[in-house]
Amino acid sequence: MERNNKLFAVSALFNTPNEIISAASKTAEKGYTKFDVHTPYPVHGMDTAMKLKPSNLGFVTLGFGLSGTGLALMLAYWTMNVDYPMNIGGKPLFAFPAYVPVIFEVTVLLATLATVIGMLTFFFKFPSNSHPVHDTNFMKAVSMDKFGVIIESEDPLFNEADAVSFLESLGGNSIEKIYYPVKEAYPVFDKKFIGLQISIALVVAGLTYVTLNKAVYIQPFSWMTDQFRSDVQASSTFFSDGRSMRLPVDGTVARGFMPYEYSELTTQPEKPLTNPFAPSKAFLELGKKKYETFCSPCHGNYGDGDSRLREQFPNPPSLHSEKVRTWKDGNIYHVIVNGQNVMPAYAVQLNDEERWAITSYIRVLQRAKNSTEEDVKLVRKEIISNVAQ
């Protein structure tokens, strides 16, 4: 590296960590403020010996971290309260606990990026490829096994002769005068340089275009794209109907599924199915849950036909009519599967067990609505027995 005549600093080398600690402490006590210490590895206690003040980097981290917190809060407020307000499950629009993960992530992200970028660029002034100590005997030594001190010429107390004498008094050796390097001008706007950059850009763009638009479609690179297969919902020349997506074979039944044999029958079957489930408490609880979900909006909670949707649909007949009460369980099951009149089929929404559970629960509602004297006696007896226990 070519040097000019402007002095940057005076340097000295030391052999042990104790020597460099002592030298740094005495340099600070002498009143020098523009000096630095170079070691091949971190030396404990060096910041105290150099009397270094706490770094201001923490304020950068704090400032950008708080900025991240504020930005995340504004994002959450704008998104969920102003731009696209959403009422989810009755929660408040500004549900702060739900936003904590986002706020935390944005805070950490900005604080971390600001710390790293600020440390490297503003505090360490990187990149600094033309620093005066680069390519000097001093830097080569302290990068291996020596310890060094430099006193910069910009220090208010700096005097070249006094600095050399002081470093010698500390026991320093290989004292070296470091000069600023000659600044090199790079012809960024030179016509030849600009032409070279344009040529490189054109070559890279051309090769990229040829590779992605031509080369990949040439054998053997085209084997992955030109496969003997059919794309989803694409036409086909292989099948006679011209469709690539095939329908199941007629009569195909999924494994473990038993189709309803009267699914195509629009009237009530002559021999309806029999309920295969015993009316246990858990089974009736399931029936109640599914009934209130799918049936009660039209039939009412108790099967009286008092629809909550009367403004949209006509009220259905009561489930307590003589006709429905005398039906077999399979008749009610048939209506649930196939639908009736304006009532749609619920074969997709409900599985086989849930349909029979609803049927059994409808029987419970009918029994409660049309109870006999014997039923009342049984209920009264059950109540007395529970109170006695």
Contact 149, 167 (CB under 8 A): yes
Q: Is the pLDDT of residue 65 over 90?
A: yes
Domains of the chain: 1-184 (no CATH), 186-247 (no CATH), 281-388 (1.10.760.10)
pLDDT in tens, 97-106: 888 999 999 9
pLDDT in tens, 214-238: 888 888 888 777 777 788 888 888 8
Q: Which amino acid is at 239?
A: F
Q: Is the pLDDT of residue 89 over 70?
A: no
Listed in sequence order, the residues at least 6 apart from 355 whose beta carbon sits closer than 8 Å to its beta carbon are: 333, 336, 337, 346
Orientation angle between helical segments 329-338 and 352-369, nearest 10 degrees: 130
* Percentage of the chain exceeding pLDDT 70: 97
Cα–Cα distance for residue pair 338/315, rounded to 1 Å: 19
pLDDT at 39: 95
pLDDT in tens, 145-162: 999 999 999 999 999 999
Residues in the chain: 389
Q: How high is the mean pLDDT of the chain?
A: 88
Q: Is the pLDDT of residue 284 over 80?
A: yes
Q: Is the pLDDT of residue 261 over 70?
A: yes
Among candidate residues 27, 16, 21, the one with its CA nearest the CA of residue 48: 21
